[in-house]
């Protein structure tokens, strides 16, 4: 995860919800910073990695809805309506892709050439535990 000061400067953040925890590895259900636009202002807030749609009956659906792909975004009911009105930017300093070599998996870290912060497109929804 990128440092908070770098995120604020790079994305012109207007406010920060609360101090955010710097993490090395993000997995579904991790708490991550995301930038959301509220009334024309950019707010850096904490979100759960893994989409739990408003209509979900249980939290565990978030384990399977953590990677929306651009090519299928408009077809998947969980993502279709969110794409129009509930978007965020997830700041990052890098990400891993894994290459399988037989039984082994090797992680490869991807960074910007100058190692600056960048953003992933993200979707969010508001879920309340029934």
- Residue 91: inside a domain, yes or no? yes
- What's the number of domains the chain is made of? 1
pLDDT (tens digit per residue) in 2-22: 688 888 899 999 999 877 777
Domain of 25 in residue numbering reads as 4-123
Are 64 and 81 in contact, with CB atoms under 8 Å apart? no
The whole-model pTM stands at 0.83
User: Which tens digits make up the pLDDT trace of 87-96?
Assistant: 999 999 998 8
- CATH assignment of the domain containing 103: 3.90.1680.10
């Amino acid at each position: 995860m990128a440092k908070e000061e770098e995120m604020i400067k790079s994305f012109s953040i207007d406010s920060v919800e609360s101090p955010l925890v710097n993490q090395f590895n993000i997995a579904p259900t991790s708490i991550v910073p995301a930038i959301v636009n509220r009334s024309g202002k950019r707010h850096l807030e904490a979100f759960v990695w893994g989409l739990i749609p408003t209509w979900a009956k249980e939290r565990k659906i978030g384990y399977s809805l953590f990677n929306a792909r651009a090519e299928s975004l408009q077809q998947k009911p969980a993502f279709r309506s969110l794409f129009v009105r509930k978007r965020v930017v997830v700041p990052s300093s890098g990400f891993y892709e894994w290459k399988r070599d037989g039984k082994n998996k090797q992680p490869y870290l991807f960074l910007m050439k100058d190692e600056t912060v960048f953003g992933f497109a993200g979707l969010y929804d508001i879920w309340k535990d029934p």
